[in-house]
Amino acid sequence: MMHDMRQRLGATFRRLLPVLVLLLFVLMGTAPLRLPFIENAAPPLVLMGVYFWAVFQPVLMPSWVVFVIGLLQDLLLGLPLGISPALLVLVHWIARAHRRLIVRQSFLVVWTGFFLMALLATVLEWVGTSLLAWHLVPVLPMVLRFLEAILLFPPLLLWGLHPANRAISGQE
Provide the residue-wise pLDDT of the chain in tens; the chain has 172 residues. 666 777 777 778 888 999 999 999 999 988 766 656 556 557 799 999 999 999 999 999 999 999 999 999 999 988 889 999 999 999 999 999 999 999 889 999 999 999 999 999 999 999 999 999 999 999 998 899 899 999 999 999 999 898 888 888 775 5
Q: What is the pTM of this model?
A: 0.90
| Integer Cα distance of 167 and 101 in angstroms | 23
Going by CATH, does the domain composed of 2-169 fall within 2.60.40?
Answer: no
The sign of the torsion formed by the CA atoms of 38, 40, 41, 44 equals: negative
Any idea what the Cα angle at residue 29 is, between residues 31 and 168, rounded to 5°?
Answer: 130
Domains in the chain: boundaries: 2-169
* Per-residue pLDDT at 135: 95
* Per-residue pLDDT at 33: 65
Contacts of 22 (CB under 8 A, 6+ apart): 46, 49, 50, 53, 61, 65, 69
Cα 15 to Cα 24, 152, 156, 166, distances in angstroms: 16, 25, 20, 12
DSSP 8-state assignment for residue 35: B
The sign of the torsion formed by the CA atoms of 14, 66, 108, 153 equals: negative
